[in-house]
Every structure is written in C-alpha cells, then in structure tokens.
C-alpha cells in the first residue's frame, strides 16, 4: 500500500551537504592559526587600553584633588 508522505519524515528530508563544503584538517589548522593571531592582537590592544584607563584614572584623581583645593581657597576668600 502506498502511504502518503509525511512532511516530517527524516528519511525523505535529510540532505547530505556537498563534499566540497567540508573543510580539510589543513584548512582548520590555518583558520586556527589566524584566530590565534587575532586573539593575540586583541589581547595586546586590551592591555594597552587597560594602561590608558589607569592613566585616565590617575589624571582624574589629580583633578579631583586640585578641585578640592580650589574650593577650599574659594571658601577662605568668601570668609574675608
């Protein structure tokens, strides 16, 4: 008896990817090397940004210290 096809029948709907779409192990090794290189560049960039952030933080602390001193001077001048 010929049964109607079930649209969810895995045997009928399974598609094997074309063989040329599969990567070889050499291609994966090359891709891994590129990714590791990109990772190193990003790590270096992040380290430099981290150093820059610390410089900005120090500069900010210095400005806050100067601002507090200026406020004290203004208060002294107001009292005169």
Any idea of the CA torsion for 33, 39, 40, 43, to the nearest 10 degrees?
-170
User: For residue 78, which of 14, 2, 70 has the smallest C-alpha distance?
Assistant: 70
Q: How many domains would you assign to the chain?
A: 1
| Residue 15 resides in a domain | no
What pLDDT was estimated at residue 22?
81
Residue matched to tokens 């001048």 = 77
Q: Which of 10-14, 34-38, 64-68 has the lowest mean pLDDT?
A: 10-14
Residue 11 lies in a domain: no
Quick one: average pLDDT of 57-79? Answer: 96
Assess if residue 33 is contained within a domain. Answer: yes
- In this prediction the pTM is 0.51
- Contact at 8 Å (CB) between 28 and 35? no
Position 10 in a domain: no
Range of the domain at 29: 23-79
On whether residue 74 sits in a domain, the answer given is yes
User: Does 35 fall in a domain?
Assistant: yes
Q: Is residue 3 part of a domain?
A: no
Predicted local confidence at residue 42, as pLDDT: 96
In a domain, 34, yes or no: yes
| In the predicted structure, residue 1 carries a pLDDT above the cut 90 | no
């Amino acid at each position: 008896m010929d049964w109607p096809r079930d649209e969810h029948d895995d045997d009928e709907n399974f598609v094997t990817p074309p063989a040329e779409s599969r990567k070889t192990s050499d291609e994966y090794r090359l891709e891994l090397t590129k990714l590791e290189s990109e990772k190193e560049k990003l790590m270096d960039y992040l380290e430099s940004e981290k150093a820059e952030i610390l410089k900005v933080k120090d500069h900010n602390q210095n400005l806050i210290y100067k601002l507090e001193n200026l406020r004290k001077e203004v208060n002294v001048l107001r009292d005169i």
